[in-house]
Amino acid sequence: MKTKTWFITGTSSGLGRLMTERLLARGDSVIATLRKPGALDDLQTIYGERLRVMILDVTDTTALRRVVQQAFEGRVDVLVSNAGYGLFGAAEEVSDAQIERQIATNLTGSIQLIRAALPYLRQQKGGRIVQVSSEGGQMAWPNFSLYHATKWGIEGFVESVAQEVAPFGIDFILAEPGPTETNFAAGVDIAAPLACYDNTPAGEVRRGLAEGTIAINGDAVKTVDAIIAAADADHPPFRLALGSKAYHSIREALNGRLQLLEVHKTVALSVDKRV
């Protein structure tokens, strides 16, 4: 297989770090971005020029555009939009600052990264973008309302943009992992709880996470390998659920929405203009 160059955001830990390791080990080159220097020094020592590390906070749009421009001084085969984190708390509990940071990182940052890359992908006559989303881009848990807002939002954005740029040979993959054994939980921003939510679904989820009773059955290595395999495919899936939890949660959510749509079919059709 021909070696590729990958541009990956959010590589200091988790799936981004692991993906960087796997790609370098198989002989590819990686342009890896992260917010704090030093996190990839060990890989830099091993792989030398095949790993190019760039400092980037995706909420800084000016810096993001500069980094993308520098990355595309050569060809980039696959861009992986991976930077992001979770915000945990009932909608009433999270602060304005927490909301703004969550949207700026997970949604606006991903949108601006893709927008910045498109002109270069067009100029090189094609390329592939992997947007790391979540099962939470198609279903929702209590206490993750803002996280879900960003993941549902980026999925809608990508679904539209994919149609716009398909004629230029640019395609997308929406990777949708379920709960996976990474250090995602360590980076979650947690809102100050309100006692009034203790005996509600939000409180149940809070206790489940605190007590470890919510199953996390996704394997990080298998998840990364599945994303890489999809990105290597001649005809990749547009959406890729990853993990049994993701598959069953998304399937249940889609079936529920379809059933609700059919229940109200008569009303939906009744509001058309009469011809």
Catalytic residue among 12, 47, 134, 151: 151
Kindly give the interhelix angle for 109-123 and 145-165, rounded to the nearest 10 degrees: 20
Catalytic residue among 133, 134, 145, 249: 133
Alpha helices for 135-242 (secondary structure H): 145-165, 201-211, 220-232
Please, which residues have CB within 8 angstroms of residue 50's CB and are 6 or more apart in sequence?
24, 27, 28, 29, 30
Contact, 238 vs 172, CB < 8 A?
Answer: yes
Contact 7, 77 (CB under 8 A): no
Residues shown for the chain: 275
* Sign of the alpha-carbon torsion through 79, 83, 88, 89: negative
How many angstroms separate the CA atoms of 155 and 151, rounded?
6
CA distances from 264 to 253, 260, 271 (A): 17, 7, 12
Residues 29, 47, 110, 147: which is the catalytic one?
Answer: 147
Q: Is 120 annotated as catalytic?
A: no
210 burial via Cβ count (<10 Å: 0-12, 13-18, 19+): exposed
Closest Cα to residue 210, out of 88, 73, 48, 35?
88
197 is catalytic: no
Query: What is the rounded (10 degree) CA torsion for 60, 65, 70, 71?
Result: 90
Instruction: Judge whether 4 counts as a catalytic residue.
Output: no
Cα angle, residue 175 at apex, residues 247 and 187 outer, rounded to 5°: 100
- Catalytic residue ranges: 133, 147, 151
